[in-house]
Amino acid sequence: MYKERLKMKLNEKQIAQVDAQIKRLLNTDSYYGRVYREAGITGCTCQEDFEKIPFSSKDDLRNAYPLGIQAVPDEEVVRIHSSSGTTGKPVIIPYTAKDVDDWAIMFARCYETAGITNKDRIHITPGYGLWTAGIGFQAGAEKLGAMAIPMGPGNTEKQLQMMVDLKSTVICATSSYALLLAEEIDKRGMKDQICLTKGVIGSERWSEKKREYIREKLGIELYDIYGLTEIYGPGIGVNCPDQEGMHYWDDYLYIEIIDPVTGEQVPDGEKGEIVITTLVKEGAPLLRFRTHDLSRIIPGECTCGRSYPRLDIIDGRSDDMFKVHGVNMFPSQVEEVLSQIDGVSSEYQINIAHDDEKNRDVMLITAEAEGRVNFEATAKAITALFKSRMSVTPKVTVVPVGTLPRSEKKTKRVIDHRD
């Protein structure tokens, strides 16, 4: 285990890159320049120095709103992107021309890793605008030299028409929108009319059941792409055809895995929270940024022969946890329970409320199931298995497949009415 832990340490080049980032920030009046000056951080010459750098977080970026984290003069900023701001002030990230090009290079590398070439026709459904998704998929396709079809989300009729008429070979989407398209193609009997061979899916974690449904209905290979607005956007990692985790680009990023409670690094192979350091980003460099995404570094070499290190698929988020009757739960645990019940689909929704009369929390799970199963018996089976696994007894409603809303972006799984 000690040897595996050594693999998580910065190499000499990365230490020099972190040192350069710190010194550059110290010479600015940016938010992090002030933070590091106040903390007495002057540089980074070794792993121990690096681990003394305080973690950065989305709260920092909100405190620095709108452009407090900008580390270059205005004339060097060519673009901004932003998070949705659904949980507070939006996060605004400035990019230099080099940042934009570096991102496109990483994204093109993702496509190449998935076996996509300049002969492919890449059908892009994620949103454009301030969100990093659509334009990232497009820039990567153009850097690769492939045909980009910049559809954006929505207008399913137009999506399917263009997919058929232009003979799209690659679909890029969130897993929620990929599911919606797969269901529509299946419903209309269009599978023999489409030319899709691969799907590049990002933005949200997705269950194995949903993965298998999309894979079967579209007849494609599926690839998980990783990224987040604060770093560059999607494209900082992807799984290879051997499907043994996501390779990430350690010439641009350093990734460590920490215990989300203690903040201590954990050994390779052990699950924890992903923390990312941008090694060469100019517009808004981030050191030791806590993503809240949960995964693990996969030790050892990949059978594909690539030398880039690997992350396992994202297992959820540390801030996705919800508590009912004093029990901590994650959506991934709910998905695991539902996957054990025959006929239940990947789609579900959880509503949590407080019963004032009984002074207790109430948890309602709405799950979709195939018409061939008895809904009442299926609800009882879910309740019993949930109680035995989670020590909580939910109220369960089973509805036909297709009843719950489909999303063009991320699907909201847990609605907490106690807030």
In angstroms, what CA-CA distances link 228 with 131, 290, 304, 351? 10, 11, 26, 27
* DSSP summary character for residue 418: T
Residue 55 structure tokens:
């973690």
Helix residue ranges per DSSP H, 55-96:
58-63
- Residue pLDDT, tens place only, 145-198: 999 999 999 899 999 999 999 999 999 998 888 989 999 999 999 999 999 999
Cα–Cα dist 250/14, whole Å:
9
Cα–Cα dist 209/345, whole Å:
7
Cα–Cα dist 34/25, whole Å:
8
What backbone torsions phi and psi does residue 199 show, to the nearest 5 degrees? -130, 130
- For residue 247, the cross-strand partners are 238, 310
Put residue 229 in one of left, alpha, beta given phi > 0 → left and psi -120 to 50 → alpha: alpha
Mean pLDDT of 39-43: 96
* DSSP summary character for residue 56: B
- Residue pLDDT, tens place only, 1-11: 334 444 568 99
- Residue pLDDT, tens place only, 237-281: 999 999 889 999 999 999 999 999 899 999 999 999 999 999 999
pLDDT in the model for residue 409 = 67
Q: Is the pLDDT of residue 67 over 70?
A: yes
Q: Is the pLDDT of residue 235 over 80?
A: yes
Mean pLDDT of 313-327: 79
Cα–Cα dist 239/246, whole Å:
4
Order of strands across the sheet with 289-295? 253-258, 272-278, 289-295
* DSSP summary character for residue 230: T
Cis peptide before 66 (omega within 30 of 0): yes
Which of the pair, 361 or 72, is modelled with greater confidence? 72
Which of the pair, 304 or 360, is modelled with greater confidence? 304
Confidence of residue 320 (pLDDT cuts 50, 70, 90): confident
Which domains occur in the chain, in start order? 96-318 (3.40.50.12780), 321-416 (3.30.300.30)
